[in-house]
Structure 1
């Protein structure tokens, strides 16, 4: 099921980029940690994300924004950084409350491309799924800032009750 969802999101993203009304790039900081019953000894890992976005208008104040991002997630514990490097595909529905401010939310599918050596013993899963929500403010014609929270719903390992939990702060430039 997770593989099917990932394939659907990638196809949606590919379709969206061919019909997009605007494209952009974004990058920013991740404040990542783990949630779940086994997450007591972990602390926030500060990392980054970067990638491409497209925005497709549906109605006057409703758009869809698929993204393709490289995102470093994980946590810190006992002077170790547990880094999980993902290619993420969030698909955000954006509701514009004004011309320069929107609220957005939607699903995010991720595929693990690498992990830190300190994470090898966790036997991490290849796929991750979560839901995201946030806000965006355009402060210039093409520039915006975004704040988004991503809550993982799939466990990052079959051996532990750990899920990704990420706060993202981003700067976006739309062409």
Structure 2
């Protein structure tokens, strides 16, 4: 009888452990929303004297656990970027860019605190330069796609409210390559976005 009870208890324990293992390593996915403010500027050898401007970003996220410490978090975000500069007339020219960002961050988590790093693909939706109240489209001067990276830290429980701080930038210039006046070569200006984002997030319950 004791042996039978012990066997049943052992089987129950193994079953519970296996279920917990399956639940955890079965990549439970948590979806949510995030939104916040951005402070961006233009860097690179082809720009000088630019100052940062404020904008915002918002979108949807999914967090997929890899193990007890690491997870992948793909996101789809609308994001404003740009910078401003005072020209020789004393007027301020503001360049504002509208992007659709797709970062995929690898997160390392300790309790509810995390650090993250990963690639980001950005698609340019529109770009305008505003000077003296007049806006000029400059979308055609820039590449449609940017490949860059994200770095960040923050606090996020599996469900509920969280907050974070993130930096992102492209690996290469965002300007489009153009032909030289002679037409026998191409070059591009060195213009890169640098963006600091502060945000709040809200994760919904397990989507499984």
TM-score normalized by the length of structure 1: 0.83
Could you tell me which runs of 5 or more consecutive residues in structure 2 were left unpaired when the two chains were aligned. Answer: 1-26, 87-91, 129-134, 178-187
Bigger-Rg structure (1/2): 2
Correspondence list, 1:1-175, <5 A: 21-78=29-86, 79-96=92-109, 98-116=110-128, 117-118=135-136, 120=138, 123-138=141-156, 142-157=160-175, 158=177, 159-175=188-204
C-alpha distance in 1 between matches for 2:59 and 2:29: 17
> Secondary structure of the equivalent of 2:66?
strand
Per-residue deviation, residues 50-71 of structure 1 (Å, max 9, x unmatched): 0000000001010000000000
Q: CA deviation at 1:86?
A: 0.5
Runs of 4+ in 1 over 4 A off after TM superposition: none
Q: CA deviation at 1:154?
A: 2.2
RMSD of aligned residue pairs (Cα, Å): 1.9
Q: CA deviation at 1:39?
A: 2.5
